[in-house]
Chain A
Amino acid sequence: MMSPLPFFLAHIWLIPMFPLATAAMMLFFGRKLQKSVIDVLCAGSVFVSFIFSVGGFLQLLSLPQNNRIAINVLFEWLPAVPYHMLDGRIANFVADWGFQLDPLSAVMILVVTGVGFLIHVYSTGYMAHEGGYYRFFGYLNLFMFAMLMLVLANNFLLLFVGWEGVGTCSYLLIGFYFHKKSASDAGKKAFIVNRIGDAAFLLGIFLTSAVLGTIRFADIGPALAAGNFNVGDPHLVAIALLFFVGATGKSAQIPLYVWLPDAMEGPTPVSALIHAATMVTAGVYMVTRTSAIYQLAPAAMAVVAMVGAITALFAASMGVVQTDIKKVLAYSTVSQLGYMFLACGVGAFTAGIFHLMTHAFFKGLLFLAAGSVIHALSGEQDMRKMGALSKKIPITYWTMLIATLAIAGIFPFAGFLSKDLILGKAYEKDILLWIIGYFTAGMTAFYMFRLIFMTFHGASRVDHEVEHHIHESPRSMLVPLVVLAGLSIAGGWVAWPEIFGGNSAFIRFLEPVVAVPHEMREEAVKGVSSRLGEIHLMLLSEGLVVLGILAAWYLYIKRTELPQQIANRLGWFYRLVYNKYYVDQIYDALFVNRAKDLGLALGAFDRTVINGAGVNGAGWLTRFISKILMWWDTWIVDGSVRLGARLVWLLSYPVRMIQDGLVQSYMLLIVVGLIGFLAYYFHLAHQVMH
């Protein structure tokens, strides 16, 4: 770097290495290690990474406002290759093994390592009695490594490495109970669905390098400036859309969201860490990271916003009717991610990241709490078999309540601030988007409180043998809950808006990184044009939220028989929603089975045409030809050779008589030579004498 960086900034590349080291340790010889050792090693390594992240964050703050960036390039990964860009200019394709820390990635690593550490601690309690303990933590640390690589990478290729890494780890962890077919199927599903998105992402990277001539984040801005693209340049739109498809795959947006609900087959901490807090938000991070491109592609941004909004609503509607506690949370995750993309789509990238952070807190907390409930009910996940747990497991109850309030968006919990920031932006961008988001907020409040009421209140519907050993979870699980609860309350205050006398420090902090569309640059900070409007919006959403809560109370506490009647009343619609709009079936019918048919067809083709006609035919032909050749060889080629050999043999007969390998005959020859020599000598002597 140009100026000597302070320690932590100079060593950000170390942050991913600690989890990698422990992961390697676990996966190579973790089998022999004590449980306690594994705990210390894995959680400890993540904690060290957290310390480094905090240090890096603080030292980043100490840098001047406008160039808060630190880059460590370990070594040049792919050496520079000159090539022609689309517009004919020559560019050098360079991919370093480089790490970049700027406000955006700083926020990300703080969230990842912080929440990750808490979830590690939680897992030591939750997984205590599971088999393959070391395997679980090895995967978990491997995931931490990949995620940190993803957020710290300084170019698309390295980011893609992390991208694939987290995909792999999520596959491994979803299929952690691999002896359960549903689990392994879910893992495969997640992996395959992600492939689609990843393919698009790769294409996006290629196109980027072809259009902009670089894949370094730091160089994108200059490259855009140099290429002086006008707004809506088709290349950029294409790039943006490809990236967005990648994001939908990783972040479970329509149409690629189907894997996330199934991913709940994995252990609950995994759902909390990967499928709520960190990995699924990678898409949002990536879109924010490339905001500079998006802002030049309004069409793509519109698509993003629409998809996000629709996903939010759609997933929320499915969440309403789910009975599996984790499934409910999964759909809520999808819809919250929809919110984030909505934010990005309307250009409020900072708001998206803000919501990403708060969501990491309360959704992680929700999952962990749900895990605690499941733990307490010894593995029961169906909400219809719960109820009246609030007295039995109070801490879990209160923390989960806090999280619910946060996600529902009650003032002044974290969720309120982030969500209303997004809604405000959406309102200004497009009233329709705002309406969708608004209703989604109401539905969110409804189904979340439905969850609370069904789980903790009303009459107990717990099975009897389960009933009498319900117990609060161990401290190792409760401490993270409490900490996350605190974060869910206070985590949002870092962006306390001006209308409440705050100064949106968080937004200002992120401001230099994300490029904001021209038309709304000026109000980027202070949100909606008129304070009055903003207040009104808040009040409106609060009202709807409260309405949703009341509805949930009415339906699931007051008149518990009512939901069933409603379900019967609107039968086909209910069934439609209950079966998740048959999306899986449709996908099966449209793609999966077609793919299978294609496979079968190809197999048949191989068997019949290639094997039968091609290979066997060729074999037969070869054999036939070789028969002829063999005859030729035997009688003509070999024949001539043997003839020659026989001739030589005949001619060499006298020589063989000499060369018979008997010492004594050789000696005899020596004597003969000696005689000859002496005779010649005498001849000479005779000549000399006369």
Chain B
Amino acid sequence: MIPTEYYLILSLALFTIGVVGVLTRRNVIIVLMSIELILNAVNINLVAFSHHFGSVDGQVFAIFIITDAAAEAAVGLGIILAFFRNRETVLADEMDMLKW
């Protein structure tokens, strides 16, 4: 039987990697993907605890988070596409005018 803390550490690792990706990569798409990674880490956390306490609530929350991730991905990618059409770039540090 695998102790729950392993799962927590795993999710911590993924979370850290995701944060690093969000903070350091210039390419917005990869930033978005890192955010997905972070959400994933959170999911692992939730599922691990739901398994630990033997109730499915954590999994329900995980499902909600996946929904959220889907929405976020759709909107974010839409924004990126529109931006790319107008600015011909996908670099985060060139999107610094806070307006179109």
Interface residues of A (CB under 8 A from B): 660-664, 667-668, 671
Q: Bound complex: CA of A137 vs CA of B98, how far in Å?
A: 70
- Chain A proximity of B52: nearest CB distance (Å): 22
Q: Which A residue's beta carbon lies closest to that of B24?
A: A664
Interface pairs (22), CB distance under 8 Å: A660-B96, A661-B96, A661-B97, A661-B98, A662-B92, A662-B93, A662-B95, A662-B96, A663-B31, A663-B92, A663-B95, A664-B22, A664-B23, A664-B24, A664-B31, A664-B92, A664-B93, A667-B22, A667-B23, A668-B23, A671-B19, A671-B23
Instruction: Chain A residues near B24: list those with CB within 8 A.
Output: 664
- Chain B proximity of A675: nearest CB distance (Å): 11
Q: Which A residue's beta carbon lies closest to that of B35?
A: A667
Q: Bound complex: CA of A621 vs CA of B97, how far in Å?
A: 47
Q: Bound complex: CA of A662 vs CA of B22, how far in Å?
A: 12
* Total of A-B residue pairs, C-beta within 8 Å: 22
- For chain B, the count of residues having a C-beta within 8 Å of the partner chain is 11
Instruction: Chain A residues near B92: list those with CB within 8 A.
Output: 662-664
**Pairs A-B, 10 closest by C-beta atoms:** A661-B96, A661-B98, A662-B93, A662-B96, A664-B92, A664-B23, A668-B23, A667-B23, A663-B92, A667-B22
- Chain B proximity of A228: nearest CB distance (Å): 85
Instruction: Chain A residues near B96: list those with CB within 8 A.
Output: 660-662
- Chain A proximity of B37: nearest CB distance (Å): 14
Instruction: Chain B residues near A667: list those with CB within 8 A.
Output: 22-23
Instruction: Chain A residues near B22: list those with CB within 8 A.
Output: 664, 667
- Chain B proximity of A44: nearest CB distance (Å): 68
Q: Which B residue's beta carbon lies closest to that of A659?
A: B98
- Chain B proximity of A478: nearest CB distance (Å): 83
- Chain B proximity of A662: nearest CB distance (Å): 5
Instruction: Chain B residues near A668: list those with CB within 8 A.
Output: 23
Q: Which B residue's beta carbon lies closest to that of A663?
A: B92
Convert B64-100 into 0s and 1s, putting 1 for each residue whose CB lies closer than 8 angstroms to a CB of A. 0000000000000000000000000000110111100
Q: Bound complex: CA of A661 vs CA of B95, how far in Å?
A: 8
Q: Bound complex: CA of A661 vs CA of B97, how far in Å?
A: 6
Q: Bound complex: CA of A662 vs CA of B92, how far in Å?
A: 7
Please report whether the interface of chain A is mostly helix, strand, loop or mixed according to DSSP: helix
Q: Bound complex: CA of A667 vs CA of B24, how far in Å?
A: 10
For window 13-55 of B, CB contacts with A under 8 Å fall at 19, 22-24, 31
Instruction: Chain A residues near B19: list those with CB within 8 A.
Output: 671
Q: Which A residue's beta carbon lies closest to that of B93?
A: A662
- Chain B proximity of A671: nearest CB distance (Å): 7
Q: Bound complex: CA of A663 vs CA of B28, how far in Å?
A: 10
Instruction: Chain A residues near B31: list those with CB within 8 A.
Output: 663-664
Q: Bound complex: CA of A668 vs CA of B19, how far in Å?
A: 9
Q: Bound complex: CA of A216 vs CA of B96, how far in Å?
A: 80
Which of A660, A664, A667, A668 has its CB near the most chain B CB atoms (within 10 A)?
A: A664
- Chain B proximity of A132: nearest CB distance (Å): 61
Q: Bound complex: CA of A668 vs CA of B23, how far in Å?
A: 6
Q: Bound complex: CA of A667 vs CA of B19, how far in Å?
A: 9
Q: Bound complex: CA of A668 vs CA of B93, how far in Å?
A: 13
Instruction: Chain B residues near A661: list those with CB within 8 A.
Output: 96-98
Q: A661-B97, A663-B31, A667-B22 given; name 19 further pairs at CB < 8 Å.
A: A660-B96, A661-B96, A661-B98, A662-B92, A662-B93, A662-B95, A662-B96, A663-B92, A663-B95, A664-B22, A664-B23, A664-B24, A664-B31, A664-B92, A664-B93, A667-B23, A668-B23, A671-B19, A671-B23
- Chain A proximity of B23: nearest CB distance (Å): 6
Q: Bound complex: CA of A667 vs CA of B34, how far in Å?
A: 13
Q: Bound complex: CA of A671 vs CA of B93, how far in Å?
A: 18
- Chain A proximity of B46: nearest CB distance (Å): 19
Q: Bound complex: CA of A294 vs CA of B69, how far in Å?
A: 100
Q: Bound complex: CA of A664 vs CA of B98, how far in Å?
A: 13
- Chain A proximity of B44: nearest CB distance (Å): 20
Q: Bound complex: CA of A660 vs CA of B94, how far in Å?
A: 11
Q: Which B residue's beta carbon lies closest to that of A674?
A: B19
Which of A660, A663, A667, A668 has its CB near the most chain B CB atoms (within 10 A)?
A: A663
Instruction: Chain A residues near B23: list those with CB within 8 A.
Output: 664, 667-668, 671
Instruction: Chain A residues near B98: list those with CB within 8 A.
Output: 661
Q: Which A residue's beta carbon lies closest to that of B99?
A: A661
Q: Bound complex: CA of A662 vs CA of B23, how far in Å?
A: 11
Q: Which A residue's beta carbon lies closest to that of B25?
A: A664
Instruction: Chain A residues near B97: list those with CB within 8 A.
Output: 661
Q: Bound complex: CA of A668 vs CA of B24, how far in Å?
A: 9
Q: Bound complex: CA of A670 vs CA of B95, how far in Å?
A: 19
- Chain A proximity of B41: nearest CB distance (Å): 15
Q: Bound complex: CA of A667 vs CA of B93, how far in Å?
A: 13
- Chain A proximity of B29: nearest CB distance (Å): 13
- Chain B proximity of A628: nearest CB distance (Å): 41
Q: Bound complex: CA of A671 vs CA of B16, how far in Å?
A: 11
Q: Bound complex: CA of A663 vs CA of B32, how far in Å?
A: 12
- Chain A proximity of B21: nearest CB distance (Å): 10
- Chain A proximity of B48: nearest CB distance (Å): 21
Q: Bound complex: CA of A671 vs CA of B20, how far in Å?
A: 11
Instruction: Chain A residues near B93: list those with CB within 8 A.
Output: 662, 664
Q: Bound complex: CA of A663 vs CA of B92, how far in Å?
A: 7
Instruction: Chain B residues near A663: list those with CB within 8 A.
Output: 31, 92, 95
Q: Bound complex: CA of A340 vs CA of B70, how far in Å?
A: 101
- Chain B proximity of A669: nearest CB distance (Å): 11
- Chain A proximity of B31: nearest CB distance (Å): 7
Q: Bound complex: CA of A661 vs CA of B99, how far in Å?
A: 10
Instruction: Chain B residues near A664: list those with CB within 8 A.
Output: 22-24, 31, 92-93
